[in-house]
Structure 1
């Protein structure tokens, strides 16, 4: 595959890649990853229950799901430079409101504003922007962007811990608000390319017909939507509960956390491998392989039981699956439904994904409380199996 010239990253549509690379790290690092560290501090200072305080983050994800289709349509009409600038400014406002909120209603309202920012700042609007800029050729830049996005948690968690230790959680929120307003928003507004992709040239006489696409509605669209939504339950639920499950299964806390750290590097390694060797495969095959790997990981853990070796293998497979599914979320809709109206398609698919992310931690917590860890893992495995069934039922257009 031809390398990207350095100069191309400063002009034309390829300039979007370094711009979005920076802003994705800032957006994920400021909006999505900090709550695991800041919410316990907020709960302790405000005197609220941990469940209520974390419920603010779930409210943000629900708000993001409601707004996502609107954001996708806005990107189709006006471009990512409009929608994502609004997202960065909304994120800055939401974080400022979060820092000063002392009443429970004001606290939840701040999270709703942050949720609107998520819908216009994270992967889905970035993928929609790349689809508008590159058209049918967006697969490569989407994959490359996920390399950089995979670094966000690696940067955010140590930075959030340091900021909370030095400035308190309010100071941390204000620093992240400043980064979104003063760095991410100007990059989106002034550095993102604006010209959409040119329509593909007409094929010469006798050339093979281009790959067929299907309309973004009906059975195929519903299967794609259901497949991704069912999968969304798995990483959201496991990220909130799996480390604690491993500890209850007999693995000490330090070892469990060390095993959990395998997730991030395996995500990135899987994406690099796909970029190097799998870019010619249809994204439907990628989605099927990734979810089958997740189902196999649950089968391994269920048969071998909780042990250090089994947990480590599970996290390796889990990380690889999630890394590949992230790519498939951007490339499969493009391959099946085509680049026309891609932002609206991505937004419609994002809505149930975000809603499932919001519900999954609570659902799994109730399952653990009322049944057992084994039942909770079985429930997550069932969602993975449903997801695989959806993708297996999709017929690749020919």
Structure 2
């Protein structure tokens, strides 16, 4: 690469801020918006979650071409355009009255998210940071607070402005993130070296490797759990009859628990590998889901679930970025992570809808935690397979 680009400190703060706003405006508010949209528009919960499903599908389909573009051309233009498009689409969502238009908005939102959220952001860090693993961990300290910040903020905006006004306020925040993205990546070097390296081992060959397949299974299963709970955790907890303040506190506690786990990882430094961290995190996933399943009336077991899931989720966010580079190498990183996202597109897209259908068919969320426990076990099995395999190398 030519030129230096932003310093690690500037990269950490810039990426962390834009990702916190991006996830906080595009994903976190959805479960809080379901009830007021149902009340005003008369749409079913299944329809609303189907729109989210279409957006996740579009995001997964767009991941590979986005990754290839990043490897060849860099991130500034695509990430900036994606962030602006996301803001405009939030504004369009605030004006929606027709279900077909709502679904179309979410398809376009999915494409915008693929261009400006986690995968391209981590490709930037891997390409530009002097110490990518340390930078990624530092970034997640801040992004781990996304729910803690945006759940109460969105709730307050809805109470003060209605769901349409809340979306317009979130769109304004996302415009700020777009401006910061453009300014942060100004002068970033073009990825000539990354382009040449990425061509050394064809993507199709990497996708046939056992390590890739194991990571794909791990991240796909984790995505099913994460996306499904993001859409349904609040109504699931509400169904258990606890006060609204308790429900929101339990949901918001996810962020601080993530940050605590990442702080321990940051302190451990080079004494641990991403392989060992991934094994621990994936084994914790089914433990968390079993706590949720076995204690529907137990606040203590629910708190255990919140803590265990947050720790696993927080660590796996780092493993997905830094662990992929450790296990599969840094060559063609954008295309590889795009392919991993594409493989996960089906579980990501069906998770909210499947859980909504289970809820509808069972008359409640009772079976859902048991399903998620089985999915968590599959995630652990996939990572154990990948961790035992050597990466594909060029030459």
TM-score normalised to the size of structure 2? 0.85
1:70 aligns with 2:65: yes
Partner of 1:188: 181
Comparing 60-69 and 31-40, the one that deviates more: 31-40
**Other structure's SS at 1:340 match:** coil
* 1:93–1:113 CA contact under 8 A, matched in 2: no
Aligned in 2, Cα 1:287/1:175: closer, same or farther, shift over 3 Å? same
Comparing 298-307 and 356-365, the one that deviates more: 298-307
1:263 aligns with 2:254: yes
Aligned in 2, Cα 1:217/1:256: closer, same or farther, shift over 3 Å? same
1:228 aligns with 2:223: no
| 1: CA distance, partners of 2:20 / 2:287 | 31
Structure 2's unaligned 5+ residue stretches are: 195-204
Partner of 2:154: 160
**Other structure's SS at 1:128 match:** helix
- After superposition, residues 190-229 of structure 1 pair within 5 angstroms as 190-192=183-185, 194-195=188-189, 216-218=206-208, 219-229=210-220
* 2:158–2:166 CA contact under 8 A, matched in 1: yes
Task: Give 1:275 shift.
Answer: 1.0
| 1: CA distance, partners of 2:42 / 2:193 | 57
Aligned in 2, Cα 1:296/1:102: closer, same or farther, shift over 3 Å? closer
Partner of 2:134: 140
| 2: CA distance, partners of 1:79 / 1:36 | 34
**In structure 1, which of residues 346, 356, 362 is the aligned counterpart of residue 337 of structure 2?**
346
Task: Give 1:190 shift.
Answer: 2.7
1:126 aligns with 2:121: yes
1:58 aligns with 2:43: no
Task: Give 1:269 shift.
Answer: 0.6
Task: Give 1:106 shift.
Answer: 1.6
Partner of 1:6: none
Partner of 2:42: 47
Task: Give 1:134 shift.
Answer: 3.0
* 1:69–1:344 CA contact under 8 A, matched in 2: yes
1:330 aligns with 2:298: no
User: How many residues are aligned here?
Assistant: 375
1:281 aligns with 2:246: no
Partner of 1:308: 299
TM-score normalised to the size of structure 1? 0.85
* 1:304–1:310 CA contact under 8 A, matched in 2: yes
**Other structure's SS at 1:33 match:** coil
Structure 1's unaligned 5+ residue stretches are: 1-8, 201-214
Misfit runs of 4+, over 6 Å: 197-200
Bigger Rg over Cα: 1
Aligned in 2, Cα 1:96/1:343: closer, same or farther, shift over 3 Å? same
| 2: CA distance, partners of 1:116 / 1:197 | 23
| 2: CA distance, partners of 1:184 / 1:233 | 27
Aligned in 2, Cα 1:279/1:326: closer, same or farther, shift over 3 Å? farther
Partner of 1:103: 98
* 1:284–1:332 CA contact under 8 A, matched in 2: yes
Partner of 1:376: 368
Partner of 1:210: none
Aligned in 2, Cα 1:11/1:84: closer, same or farther, shift over 3 Å? closer
Comparing 36-45 and 250-259, the one that deviates more: 250-259
* 1:291–1:384 CA contact under 8 A, matched in 2: yes
**Other structure's SS at 2:367 match:** helix
Aligned in 2, Cα 1:173/1:252: closer, same or farther, shift over 3 Å? closer
* 2:224–2:348 CA contact under 8 A, matched in 1: yes
Question: CA offsets per residue over residues 16-67 of structure 1, 9 Å max, x none?
Answer: 2221122112211211112222233233333322321332222211111111
**In structure 1, which of residues 389, 392, 398 is the aligned counterpart of residue 381 of structure 2?**
389
Partner of 1:293: 284
| 2: CA distance, partners of 1:170 / 1:242 | 22
Task: Give 1:247 shift.
Answer: 5.7
